[in-house]
Amino acid sequence: MHTSYDVIVVGGGHAGCEAAAAAARKGAAVALLTFDRNTVGAMSCNPAIGGLGKGHLVREVDALDGLIARAADAAAIHYRMLNSSKGSAVQGPRVQADRKRYKGAIQAMLAQQSGLTLLEGEAVALATEHGRVTGLILADGTALTGRAVVLATGTFLGGRLFRGEERNEGGRTGERAATALGHQLRDLGLPIARLKTGTPPRLDGRTIDWGALEEQPSDSRNWTMSPLSSTRVLPQLACAITRTNEATHQIIREGLGRSPLFSGAIEGRGPRYCPSIEDKILRFGDRDGHQIFLEPEGLDDRLVYPNGISTSLPTDVQQAMVRSMHGLDKAEIVVPGYAVEYDHIDPRALDSSLAVRAMPGLFCAGQINGTTGYEEAAAQGLVAGVNAAAHARDEMPMILDRASSYIGVMIDDLVLQGVTEPYRMLTARAEYRLRLRADNAETRLVPIGLEHGFVGEERRRRYAARQDRRGLIDAELRRCMTASEMARVGAAVRQDGARRSLFDWARFPEVGRALLFDLAPSLRDAPEDLRDEIWEDAHYAPYLERQDAEIADLRRNERVTIPAAFDYRCIGGLSAEMIERLEGARPDSLAAAGRVRGITPAALAAILVHLRREAA
Amino acid sequence: MADTIFALSSGAPPAGIGVIRISGGDAATALSALAGRLPEPRRASLALLSDPSDGAPLDRALLLWLPGPGTATGEDMGELHCHGGRAVVAAVERALGRMAGLRRAEPGEFTRRALANGRMDLNAVEGLADLLAAETEQQRRAALLMTEGHFSRRIEGWRLRLLDLSAMAEAALDFSDEDDVPDAAIEARIGEGIAALAQDVAQVLAAPSAERLRDGVRVVLAGPPNAGKSTLLNALVGRDAAIVSDVAGTTRDRIEVPAALGGVAFLFTDTAGLRAEAGDAVEAIGMDRARAAMDAADILLWLGDPDALPREDAVPIAAQSDRMDHRGHPGLKLSALSGEGMDALARLLLEKAAALLPREGDYALHARQRQGVTALLRYLGQAGRQADLLMLAEDLRQARRAIDTLTGQAGTEDMLDRLFAGFCIGK
């Protein structure tokens, strides 16, 4: 076996696969280490990819030539654009994916990637020399050498499953390996904390009375997750909706005493935005019911995922609860739901390239950083993979800032604020979301990917052609017309005597698409995705201009750098809590320090004054 | 570690006492070096100060040792209450200046350190600047409210309400796929919340500004030549600020005189007399300036024809009642020479000024604060008109940023520089 690589990726989940593929695209020799090659690319929780905020991440990973969107399209059996009635900046594309086909698509893409070797085995320890990573030791004694290691190990650190009174340590063999690596991470001084997440029972779709339930059909338009997927390939299935009711709530209340969530057995914090059904009943008991989506797991798969009843109640209570709902009175549970508690590292130990500050060459991505979700994992994996390859090849790291992408927002949040619950992407987290739309991810990110040299030929060609086309349309939209000229061609705009470019006129409600297309035929002839992007750009333009000044300000404060060894304790007047947060987050700029929670303007002024004094 | 700074923080010598403040890590060393011992913390004690270089006695002074961080600047501090003679203060300052690590404070540096160490916020600093400059009771009260953080607490209240509104908007945007977030009802509640907050903000904005309080209410005396404007001005300010003669057109330029009446600051302006034809170019310029002053006046006292008021709100004055016949004149009859009507005029000025100045218990906003509150109100207004929830959320975000500007988060550096440039030393 070949044992020398540039980058070694541990873990074949969504983060690990993107990391390995991205590092290989950047030209590194990559090993992807997994327990079992058949589980590579598995979706371990719900069968959906995308959604509000998450759909943005999928499009961004795709723009950086990642795998997730193309695999989602290859496996999609249901498409839905969330928030379609709201502004495009908060619309979230989502698909239900066929599990087997998704995994198959990922494995096929990895197999085609040159420079990437899939290895089966179990990591025991990092090999280090003078405080730097030099490789990885496997359980069978094999020593792999590599200048960078990416840990994308999901919940393997101290995983514990809970269901009613049952407990299951980690749920897999090889605790020794996890423990040894876990100890090594602790010895590095990495702060470790515990988080909790849960999953609902899986139902046998043949035992559901579909006819009795409200149906939610797949979106009829023909959009795809990746612009490189030319069309939807699989037959589309409908999801169905049912609700909990008073009887369901009564069953849950009676079972609460047997739930590990309330017996104190689980110490880790669960996510507020994805509560267990026990939590929902306890906190919102006055509601007469909660919506439950029944999502098929595949075309030729009988399993159905009831989204909304994540639970760790005992199996018998789960069965009674499920059967109390409309359409599910005969439903069979195939796999009962459970809660899982796991260790994660405090992501404030990482820098913006996802490198562990205390150990050069070590990168972390995915759930190990305290996030939840395939999309969050994939996005971090891509960034960690690219930067691990950059590290191995002595190239500049790729740092995405908050104004560039949701990926940048997420990483900045993680490395500055840390996590108190599993971190999930929300559009509300992105202050510049009017410019960070799912529909303009290519325009925003392909150039960054090209600059860092990890975008494939197909994507590059598509981007170049699209930019050429956009250039022609932009030129046509720069043509100016007066208000009276607009009136002559049929737009009942206010006669304010103003002369505006067609791009500016586009946002006036009196103008409308049809007229604009007449005035700018190149726009009409453009592909739908480009047409929509330009249309939205025009509508948000006044807001984007206002934000430009804000972003310039942000970038100016980002240039006021804070040395890594800056001593916050020498600044009198910072509270102990502020000092602790700043020392935990180690912001690298004044802008970043200002984003650390609880840092007041006065504290920021104090830091600035001390920085200036030190510089003087 | 920062330098230790010192400065005379009481008035210019000679004075009864001279208070020299020392702030920084070497404050204790400096006190011990001068007094031969470190007094008990926060207890005044008497000591003979000697020059550490030659042991020569300097002064017998009251000594205070205030260990940080619970001090005005957040650092270790010392205070020397010396005799306020020029030579005494100079000798003590010289001795301090020779010590290693000590230097004379730059203007505003004590306050700057208080801000840097989180002992004051920006609004409080601005309030302090006003407090130190306050000459009238009213200025003092308004400045104290600002220093004590009344305005900051109000802003904090706004910020919390804004956060609630934003949170509702974001819930409707990010969790619209969940049936637990009721869309339509929540949008109505957001709308009501925005309107209520905007009303509150508008109320603060409608209150009079700090500049008027600081610079005085502008009272302009205007009228034809030789109407008695200069005599009246001199009577109002209680001294001969303007030259008075019987020669028409004696006053050729504007004369501005600040004066306090009944505890309120006024800025009185005497102007060149107005007539149809200017005698020469200089008089023409003087008349232009007079008109400009009249336009900018808060209160315009008109000593001319009561039927030809230059401004609707001008106050007609029947001046020189000791020698003129004012029958039928609707204005206030007064004589600066005999004092007739002067009390009535003072009452009238105070009454009008009361409407222009912050009421007791109000704080007044500075131009910078006014700008921030205006921006806040503008974004709230925009948010209230948005049909698109996404744009509404963006407007609310901008409103939050406007609040950050008020407490000094954005553009920190520029704002600090401006703020401290005109600041008095040693406070």
Q: A299, exposed or middle or buried, with CB in 10 Å at 0-12, 13-18, 19+?
A: middle
Per-residue pLDDT tens digits for B121-180:
666 777 677 666 666 666 666 666 676 677 778 888 888 888 888 878 887 887 766 665
Q: Which CATH architecture has domain B4-116?
A: 2-Layer Sandwich (3.30)
Cross-chain residue pair A86–B394, CB shorter than 8 Å: no
Query: How far is the alpha carbon of B253 from chain A, nearest alpha carbon, in Å?
Result: 45
Q: Give the separation between CA A135 and CA A140, rounded to whole angstroms.
A: 15
pLDDT band at B1 (very low <50, low <70, confident <90, very high): very low
Query: How far is the alpha carbon of B76 from chain A, nearest alpha carbon, in Å?
Result: 10
Which chain A residue lies closest to B124 (C-alpha atoms)?
Answer: A602
Per-residue pLDDT tens digits for B16-74:
888 999 999 999 999 999 999 999 999 999 999 999 988 899 999 999 999 988 888 88
Omega before A93 cis (within 30°)? no
Q: A-side interface with B, Cβ within 8 Å?
A: 51-53, 82-83, 86-87, 89-90, 273, 284, 287, 290-291, 426-428, 431, 434, 543, 546, 550, 553, 570-575, 594, 600-606, 608-610, 613
Which pLDDT score, from 0 to 100, does residue B420 have? 44
Q: DSSP of A395-451, one letter per residue?
A: -------TTT-HHHHHHHHHHHH--SS-B---GGG-TTTTTS-GGGHHHHHHHHHHH
Copy the structure tokens of residue A47. 């069968």
Which pLDDT score, from 0 to 100, does residue A530 have? 94
Which pLDDT score, from 0 to 100, does residue B411 have? 38
Q: B-side interface with A, Cβ within 8 Å?
A: 1-2, 68-69, 74-75, 112, 115-122, 170, 173-180, 388-391, 393-394, 397-398, 401, 404, 407-413, 416
Which chain B residue lies closest to A557 (C-alpha atoms)?
Answer: B411
Q: DSSP of B179-240, one letter per residue?
A: TTS-HHHHHHHHHHHHHHHHHHHHHHHHSPBHHHHHH-EEEEEE-STTSSHHHHHHHHHTS-
> ipTM more than 0.85?
no
pLDDT band at B369 (very low <50, low <70, confident <90, very high): confident
Cross-chain residue pair A82–B176, CB shorter than 8 Å: yes
DSSP helix/strand/coil, B391: helix
Cβ neighbour number for residue B250 with a 10 Å cutoff: 16
- Taking the CA atoms of A12, A16, A17 and A20 in sequence, report the sign of the dihedral they define: negative
Name the residue with tokens 């008695």: B228
The CATH number assigned to the domain with range A559-615 reads 1.10.150.570
E strand map for B303-403? 315-318, 332-333
Assess whether the region A457-547 and the region A559-615 belong to the same CATH fold: no
Taking domain B213-356, whether its CATH number is 3.40.50.300 is answered by yes
Q: For residue A268, which of A198, A200, A338, A342 has the smallest C-alpha distance?
A: A342
Q: Which of A273, A543, A573 sits opposite B117 (nearest CB)?
A: A573
Which pLDDT score, from 0 to 100, does residue B147 have? 66
Q: Give the separation between CA B115 and CA A606, rounded to whole angstroms.
A: 7
Cross-chain residue pair A572–B176, CB shorter than 8 Å: no
Mean of the pLDDT values across residues B328-343? 84
Cross-chain residue pair B401–A83, CB shorter than 8 Å: no
Which chain B residue lies closest to A307 (C-alpha atoms)?
Answer: B178
Which chain B residue lies closest to A573 (C-alpha atoms)?
Answer: B117
Domain ranges for chain B, please list them: 4-116, 128-207+364-421, 213-356
The CATH number assigned to the domain with range A202-338 reads 2.40.30.260
Which pLDDT score, from 0 to 100, does residue A479 have? 94
Which residues, 6 or more positions from A564, have their beta carbon under 8 angstroms from its beta carbon?
A: A357, A586, A588
Alpha-helical runs (H) found in A188-297: 246-255, 260-263, 277-283
Domain ranges for chain A, please list them: 4-198+342-451, 202-338, 457-547, 559-615
Name the percent of chain A lying above pLDDT 70: 94
Q: Sheet with B332-333: list strands edge to edge.
A: B255-261, B264-270, B217-222, B299-302, B315-318, B332-333
Cross-chain residue pair B180–A575, CB shorter than 8 Å: no
Cβ neighbour number for residue A532 with a 10 Å cutoff: 16
Cross-chain residue pair A87–B180, CB shorter than 8 Å: no
Which residues of A are part of a known binding site for FAD? 11-16
Q: DSSP of A87-148, one letter per residue?
A: -GGG-EEEEEE-HHHHHHHHHHHHHHSTTEEEEE--EEEEEEETTEEEEEEETTS-EEEEEE
Which pLDDT score, from 0 to 100, does residue A498 have? 87
Q: Which of B75, B176, B408 sits opposite A605 (nearest CB)?
A: B408
For residues B423 and B247, which has the higher predicted lDDT (pLDDT)?
A: B247
- How big is the CA angle at B348 (ends B345 and B353), to the nearest 5 degrees? 125
Helix, strand, coil share (%) of chain A residues, nearest 5 = 45, 20, 35
Burial B376-386 (b: 16+ CB within 10 A, else e): bbbbbbbbbeb
Partners of A53 on chain B (C-beta within 8 Å) are 174
Residue A319 contacts residue A204 (beta carbons within 8 Å): no
Which pLDDT score, from 0 to 100, does residue A175 have? 44
- Which CATH number does the domain A4-198+342-451 belong to among 3.50.50.60, 3.40.50.170, 3.40.50.300, 2.40.50.140? 3.50.50.60
Helix (H) or strand (E) holding A345: strand A338-345
Which pLDDT score, from 0 to 100, does residue B320 have? 83
Q: For residue A71, which of A42, A114, A51 has the smallest C-alpha distance?
A: A42
Burial B26-39 (b: 16+ CB within 10 A, else e): bbbbbbebbbeeeb
Q: Give the separation between CA B215 and CA A568, rounded to whole angstroms.
A: 41
| pLDDT at position B83 over 70 | yes
| Residues of chain A below pLDDT 70 | 1, 169-179, 263-274, 285-286, 572-573, 601-602, 613, 615-616
Per-residue pLDDT tens digits for B181-239:
556 678 888 899 999 999 989 888 877 666 677 778 889 999 998 888 888 888 888 87
Cβ neighbour number for residue B267 with a 10 Å cutoff: 17
- Which CATH number does the domain B128-207+364-421 belong to among 2.102.10.10, 1.20.120.430, 1.25.40.10, 1.10.3720.10? 1.20.120.430
Name the residue with tokens 């007044």: B364
Taking domain A457-547, whether its CATH number is 1.10.10 is answered by yes
Per the document, the length of chain B is 427
Q: For residue B385, which of B375, B376, B395 has the smallest C-alpha distance?
A: B395
Q: A300, exposed or middle or buried, with CB in 10 Å at 0-12, 13-18, 19+?
A: exposed
Q: Does B230 show up as a binding residue in the annotation?
A: yes
